[in-house]
């Protein structure tokens, strides 16, 4: 079970079936994360597009939609979890805001290179994901124009994992969960590399 913290559906509790093997972001960590995000983006004034990778049962996607975000793409491989996000979004009248894509995140990112850019890309891979897969994920998001120039990539990971990257802006720790924040690649350097 998780809770929508703020916005239209503030305090709404979402219960997933007991047989779902999921680990939604804790309320404490989610509240802290959205406080950081809302210091940078104004959901009431701006049109913010979000890509939620490893969406699970929709804790982050539904939170964005509740806060007024009109364009959330949720990528989730598990068909039951993807169906749960769809049905919950329909129940909460968020179907026009949330677009659920069922599939492997790495394959999705490879297939959709340079198609659409987002202000925010959020990823919460399974905690047993190998460090090299985290590095591959960072590279796929940053090197394929998924972020707008002012965009931010937020990666959730175990606190004991220390990520190092030239685009890393900050890492915030909340117990055994940390969020690392990455800035978009500079457009000029990308064009120079492509021209080589």
**Tens digits of per-residue pLDDT, 150-188?**
999 999 999 999 899 999 999 999 988 999 999 998 865
pTM: 0.91
Stretch among 3-7, 102-106, 180-184 having the lowest mean pLDDT? 3-7
Question: 22: pLDDT confidence band, cut at 50, 70 and 90?
Answer: confident
Phi, psi angle pair for 157, to nearest 5°: -155, 170
| pLDDT digits 0-9 by tens, 109-132 | 999 998 899 999 999 998 888 889
Residue 156, Cβ density class (10 Å: 0-12 exposed, 13-18 middle, ≥19 buried): buried
Contacts of 131 (CB under 8 A, 6+ apart): 161
Sorted by where each starts, the structural domains of the chain and their CATH numbers stand as 48-195 (3.40.50.150)
């Amino acid at each position: 079970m998780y809770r929508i913290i703020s916005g239209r559906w503030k305090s709404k509790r979402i219960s997933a079936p007991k047989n779902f093997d999921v680990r939604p972001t804790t309320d404490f960590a989610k509240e802290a994360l959205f406080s950081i995000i809302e210091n940078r983006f104004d959901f009431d004034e701006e049109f913010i597009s979000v890509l939620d990778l490893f969406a699970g049962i929709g804790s982050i996607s539904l939170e964005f939609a509740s806060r007024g975000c009109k364009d959330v793409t949720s990528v989730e491989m598990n068909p039951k979890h993807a169906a749960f996000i769809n049905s919950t979004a329909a129940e909460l009248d968020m179907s026009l805001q949330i677009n659920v894509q069922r599939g492997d995140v790495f394959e999705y990112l490879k297939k959709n290179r340079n198609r659409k850019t987002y202000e925010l890309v959020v990823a919460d891979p399974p905690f047993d994901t190998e460090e090299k897969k985290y590095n591959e994920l960072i590279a796929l998001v940053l090197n394929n124009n998924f972020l707008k120039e002012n965009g931010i990539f937020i990666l959730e990971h175990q606190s004991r994992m220390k990520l190092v990257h030239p685009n890393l802006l900050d890492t915030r720790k909340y117990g055994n969960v940390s969020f690392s924040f990455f800035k978009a690649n500079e457009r000029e350097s990308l064009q120079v590399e492509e021209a080589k």
